[in-house]
Amino acid sequence: MNYPNGKRSAVSKTDKAPKKPDFSNRGMTLEEDINVTNEYYLASNTAVIHKKPTPVQIVRVDYPKRSAAVIKEGYFKQASTTDYNGIYRGNYIDFEAKETRNKTSFPLSNIHQHQIDHMKAVHDHGGICFMIIRFTPHQETFFLSAVKLFYWWDEQYNGGRKSIPYSYIQRNGKLIPFTYQARVDYIQVLDKLFF
């Protein structure tokens, strides 16, 4: 600190060095944004969409005291399918949500074969299936129909790319508007594409 006489004060040994800025929890993650959006849809009677719970088998539990149980060991019972499902305007809705820090493409390694198989089955049975992809460096969130995802997924096994170019998603996906109450307002996109 500088005083009026122009001399600096002596720094005591008890003063701490300035803390580095904490960048954790700088903003909502895509999943948190979608959960808030789905709560709004439910409260406004727009749609009923929920996050699917991941099935876990608990193997070992310790009871350090009567009122507290601590899970010490567990494993996933089965591979999960997609993140969200529900109903909107009488139609079954099923989608996966992913975010990437990559600026130029969405890596297909972020998706698993069992998820693609599930999405294809939903699509074949008449459900509306899609992906929500957030490019965090661009602060943009896109709606990509499952059919457009399937093309890239199958092409990677025929010598094609192992990622979907950002430019393709810009042209062939739909930018999802960020609104105050519905942070990831994917219903607006569904209305334009299907209803």
Is residue 189 exposed (0-12), middle (13-18) or buried (19+ Cβ within 10 Å)? buried
Do residues 122 and 129 touch, judged by C-beta distance below 8 A?
Answer: yes
Q: How many Å is the Cα radius of gyration of the chain?
A: 23
- Strand boundaries in the chain, DSSP class E: 48-51, 56-65, 68-76, 84-88, 91-100, 105-107, 128-135, 140-145, 163-165, 174-175
CB atoms < 10 A from the CB of 48, how many? 13
pLDDT averaged per 10 residues in sequence order, the chain, 195 residues: 52 50 52 96 97 74 75 66 94 96 96 94 97 96 97 95 97 94 94 93
Helix (H) or strand (E) holding 15: none
Predicted confidence at residue 39, as pLDDT, reads 97
The domain segmentation of the chain, as residue ranges, is 30-194
Predicted confidence at residue 22, as pLDDT, reads 40
Predicted confidence at residue 6, as pLDDT, reads 54
CATH code: domain 30-194 is 3.40.1350.10
0.85 surpassed by pTM: no
Predicted confidence at residue 45, as pLDDT, reads 97
